[in-house]
Amino acid sequence: MMEEKELLKLVATDLDGTFLMNDKSISRSNMEMLEVLGEKGIIRVVATGRNFRKTCEVIPDHIPFDYVVFSSGAGVYDWKKRELMYFRNMHRDTVSGLVRFFINRDLNFHLFKPVPDNHMCWYYRGTQPCSEFERYFDFHNSYSEPLPENCPPGSEACQFLVIFPNNPKRFHELKLEILTHFPEVKVVRTSSPLDTGYIWMEIFHEAVSKGNGVKFVCDAVCVDHNQTLGIGNDFNDLDLLEFTRYSYVVENGPDELKARFRVAKSNEEDAFAHAVKDFL
């Protein structure tokens, strides 16, 4: 363990269900651990599926992170310098092809505009009712507009969000079909943050992942991945956990992931602070 303590140079954490409490607040222990890491010169990274605007809703300016990997790695932001360092969007031909693909299969989806404006999106409502889609639509309505009828956007885009009932078999079948026709994208499964049991399918440029976003930060600050710790709570953290040397899944995470990585306490029990404390 002493060797591990000496190696740690960067810590990356997911937000919802991991670093944040269920009410989206930051516990005193987690805040204090951020301060301790800063005093020791250890880089502190947010790695979240939230877009940048929604990240700022729960991480105010004064919270002492160093970098933000947002939209599951579609963008990287220098939190101290207040500048965008990196972004990756899907090519417009890929976007148009996927729009037709989903419309032909009568699926409900949101299509998010290119970074840095990916807090705004188009939406397509299929003929099959989907309560989860409507819940998200209500939540995101101020930044949403209908997809132009029979006219896919002729621009790049950050990501697709396809929502359907909790059916892992259906997810994997659809994922295989997408990757067969569009090998230039990445398909990510995540659990609904609205706690309704639906599966969310997120689609990005193939180079986008939380792991690649954290790797970009590591390269920028000259930190080897063997000197990193990551902590998450869901399937969209998998690339992050596979990249970091010391990787934790919180107790409230899926059993499938807890079987593969170290298990931390739940997000309600200061998982971040307790996991990092083992290395200080």
Structural domains in the chain?
2-87+209-277 (3.40.50.1000), 92-205 (3.30.1240.10)
pLDDT at 272: 98
Whether 140 shows a pLDDT value over 80: the answer reads: no
CB 229 within 8 A of CB 246: yes
Residues 129-152 have a mean pLDDT of: 78
pLDDT at 134: 83
Residues 261-276 have a mean pLDDT of: 97
Query: Of residues 270 and 132, which shows the higher confidence score?
Result: 270
Residues 89-102 have a mean pLDDT of: 95
Q: How far apart, in Å, do the first and last CA atoms of the chain sit?
A: 10
Long-range CB contacts for residues 144-153, cutoff 8 Å, separation at least 24: 144/110, 144/120, 145/120, 145/121, 146/122, 147/99, 147/111, 147/122, 147/123, 148/122, 152/95, 152/96, 152/99, 152/100, 153/92, 153/95, 153/96, 153/99, 153/111, 153/122
The three-state DSSP-derived secondary structure of 71-110 is HHHCEEEECCCCEEEEECCECHHHHHHHHHHHHHCCCCEE
Type of residue at 215:
K
Residues 262-266 have a mean pLDDT of: 97
For 44, phi then psi, to 5°, come to: -115, 120
99-128 per-position pLDDT tens digit = 999 999 999 999 999 999 999 999 999 898
77-86 per-position pLDDT tens digit = 999 999 999 9
pLDDT at 163: 87
17-54 per-position pLDDT tens digit = 999 999 999 999 999 999 999 999 999 999 999 999 99
